[in-house]
Amino acid sequence: MFKINSLSYKYLSGREGLRDVCMEGVAGDRIVLMGPNGSGKTTLLSALATELNSKGSVEVLGHSADENLQEVRRRIAFAGDRPVHLEELSGIENAQLFADLYGLERQYAESVLDNLFTRFGLSKVKHFPVSSYSHGMKKKLQLVEGFVHSPELLILDEPTLGLDPLSLEEFIDFIVQFKKGCVVMATNDPLVATKVATSVVFLMDGSVVAKGSPQELLDQLDEEVKVEIWTSGSEQKITSLESDGMVARVSPDKIVANMPSDVAPLPELMKTILRAGFEISRVEIARPDLSDVFLMLTGRSLTEESAVAREQLT
């Protein structure tokens, strides 16, 4: 379905968006890209959508990205991270523009759109101007527009940001039932990634740092549970706790520790925390998720910017 080989991309500013990325997908694959801000997710999705003039090779649906672009683009859907619409037109008018763009016959397009508006819970607002839509509604409209021409390759950048819990479940169902082709999407939501992905790709500073099924990646964690301890304490005390091997992360209000599922080391850890002068307000035991695997493999949190992005801000 697609094959990316030794792909590198430099922005005009000189920033390296991608470094020597290799990846491939076949029908039935649902590939989820995860990585901190600036790690290259959007750049990689844009390259796959044949929108970048990059180094290396991108082959999509049997065509090289630098030859038959029209044919390729007719068979893919690319929903970027920021939905763009003609705000004064209604949802259905915006979606019809996409149907026209793809040359769909009017009557056929109407019935497809009818289904999609129902599916994404937008039927009641389809005749309202998009300017009156919430962010989540605009994201859903973007998906309706993306799916109108029955694409074979879905390229979705942060598609679940802003979706309410019900829409999120519907979106996940929709993607999991999409068997005809391949899905490549970016999200840093570990729950969404685990439910959707047949394979997860971790990106860091434009490079692939790990890939595997959610279970394969989770199996790399030796520890079986994550204990979150809500505390109050001073910066200095926090620093002293960080040297404890069991403690994975310390933030101003929370200490996160990994340990075996029998939580045998927990009482001792709590004693240490109390002795250090912290007050404990709540303790939660949770299964580690893909964000913990990312932290373990890279030493970096999914919620912080990549080194390159940080450098750029300074």
Question: Footprint of Mg ion on this chain (CB under 5 A)?
Answer: 41-42
Question: Which of 37, 57, 194, 199: binder of ligand ATP (CB under 6 A)?
Answer: 37
Question: Which of 21, 34, 43, 226: binder of ligand ATP (CB under 6 A)?
Answer: 43
Span of 40-48, 163-171, 252-260, 275-283 interacting with ligand ATP by CB under 6 A: 40-48
How buried is 14 (Cβ within 10 angstroms: 0-12 exposed, 13-18 middle, 19+ buried)?
A: exposed
| Nearest CB to ligand ATP, comparing residues 37 and 199 | 37
Residue 35 is a binding residue for ligand ATP (CB under 6 A): yes
Q: How far apart are CA 283 and CA 126, in angstroms?
A: 45
Please give the structure tokens belonging to residue 244: 């404890």
Residue 11 is a binding residue for ligand ATP (CB under 6 A): yes
Find which of Mg ion, ligand ATP, none residue 207 binds, CB within 5 to 8 Å per kind: none
Instruction: Report the nearest approach of Mg ion to the CB of residue 203 (Å).
Output: 10
Q: What are phi and psi of 83, to 5 degrees?
A: -65, 135
Q: How far apart are CA 314 and CA 297, in angstroms?
A: 26
Residue 233 is a binding residue for ligand ATP (CB under 6 A): no
Smallest CA-to-CA distance from 229 within 201, 204, 252, 208 is with: 252
Contact of 228 with 191, CB cutoff 8 Å: no
Span of 36-44, 93-101, 125-133, 242-250 interacting with ligand ATP by CB under 6 A: 36-44
Q: How far apart are CA 25 and CA 216, in angstroms?
A: 18
| Nearest CB to ligand ATP, comparing residues 58 and 255 | 58
Q: How far apart are CA 137 and CA 70, in angstroms?
A: 29
Residue 90 is a binding residue for ligand ATP (CB under 6 A): no
- Alpha helix positions (H), the chain: 41-48, 69-74, 91-101, 106-119, 135-147, 165-176, 190-196, 214-218, 235-242, 266-275, 290-298, 307-313
| Nearest CB to Mg ion, comparing residues 41 and 226 | 41
| Nearest CB to ligand ATP, comparing residues 11 and 108 | 11
**Which phi-psi region, left, alpha or beta, contains residue 226 (left: φ > 0; alpha: ψ -120 to 50)?**
beta
Instruction: Report the nearest approach of ligand ATP to the CB of residue 255 (Å).
Output: 26
The residue sitting closest to Mg ion, measured at its beta carbon, is 42
Residue 138 is a binding residue for ligand ATP (CB under 6 A): no
**Rg of the chain taking only CA atoms, in angstroms:** 22
Residue 309 is a binding residue for ligand ATP (CB under 6 A): yes
Span of 59-67, 118-126, 256-264, 306-314 interacting with ligand ATP by CB under 6 A: 306-314
Q: How far apart are CA 19 and CA 2, in angstroms?
A: 18
The size of the interface with ligand ATP (CB under 6 A), counted in residues, is 16
In the complex, which residues of this chain contact ligand ATP (CB under 6 A)? 11, 13, 15, 17, 35, 37-43, 81, 308-309, 312
